[in-house]
Amino acid sequence: MSRLVRCGLVQCRVPLQADQAAPRQIKKKMIEKQVSFVEKAGRSGVQILCLQELFWGPYFCAEQSTKWYDLAEPIPGPTVKLMARYARKYKMVIVVPLHETPLPGVYYNTAAVLDDRGKLLGLYRKTHLPHCLPGFWEKFYFKPGNTGYKVFETRYAKIGVYLCYDRHFPEGARALGLNGAEIVFNPSATVAGLAEHLWKLEQPAHAVANQYFVGCVNRVGIERPWKIGNFFGTSYFADTRGKVISTASRDKDELLTADLDLDQILETRKTWQFFRDRRPETYTELTEMLP
């Protein structure tokens, strides 16, 4: 008997642009819009749902302005409590990526993981922060994450979260594998261009190295008034052999679902005995402050 789990990813364009509305208005409208997708997922029998990175806003790290600090919430806060109601209603695990403030003036780029009864299972705080041109200025907004690479034991699967830029670092992806992840969600904010081919290279490579499933969410559309590029959607799932099995559109709001057979994990590991053959005693450079 296979262990099928129906998973969902939501890619969702901001309904109001930052040059036409205040941050709080955008947040309110965006949450309303996302809730409609959460409801849709629940009605579609999704058992584990993942929203996009910093799900209630535009990707405001395209500029550096303290006004965006004001949207952050503690966890649990009003938005996590709202999502917990839907988790309970639909017996659906929900990964909620959001802007967290655990202490006044301290901010993280975080994902809250709610179980199928709406209970907060824990947090993953983004470990690796970008700060690049032309405007992925996360080191201005967030403190580097301090949670390590936690795996959350949900009713349906053991899941991990690895947020956007984290994916450039095979180390955390491996730690999630060692910690028992069966599915790793990677909510992202990635634009078209020179590095677009990485989108279906890095996370499938993590899936292969660790023989787990990955579910990758990207944003959709151009977010005004910033000029960092076009978020090209294309959210997808890849299987334990790194094959992309389901892909969303480049430009549409969308709930992408896939039924993942968790038995494929052990089946793949019977063929690829990579965990048997690791040589941890030779990896000392990786934990040193080099170069």
Q: Is 129 in the site for a second copy (CB under 8 A)?
A: yes
Is 100 in the active site?
no
> Whole-number minimum distance, CB 265 to a second copy, in Å?
14
Nearest C-alpha neighbor of 53 from the set 216, 184, 204, 200: 216
* Beta pairing partners, 186: 216
> Whole-number minimum distance, CB 163 to a second copy, in Å?
13
Q: Judged by CB under 8 A, which of 4, 22, 178, 266 binds a second copy?
A: 178
Is 288 in the active site?
no
Of 1 and 290, CB closest to a second copy: 290
Q: Is 64 in the site for a second copy (CB under 8 A)?
A: no
Rounded CA-CA distance 214/212 in Å is 7
Rounded CA-CA distance 84/250 in Å is 29
Of 103 and 194, CB closest to a second copy: 194
Is 39 in the active site?
no
Q: Judged by CB under 8 A, which of 148, 245, 252, 266 binds a second copy?
A: 148
Segment interacting with a second copy (CB under 8 A) among 35-43, 98-106, 194-202, 225-233: 194-202
CA 164, chain centre distance (Å) = 7
Contacts of 167 (CB under 8 A, 6+ apart): 173, 186, 188, 202, 203, 206
Q: From the candidates 164, 182, 216, 223, give the one annotated as an active-site residue.
A: 164
- What letter represents residue 10's amino acid? V
Rounded CA-CA distance 271/268 in Å is 5
Rounded CA-CA distance 161/215 in Å is 10
**Residues with active-site annotation:** 53, 126, 164
Q: Which residues bind a second copy (CB under 8 A)?
A: 127-132, 144, 148-149, 165, 168-175, 178-180, 194-195, 197-198, 201-202, 204-205, 208-209, 241-243, 271-275, 277-291
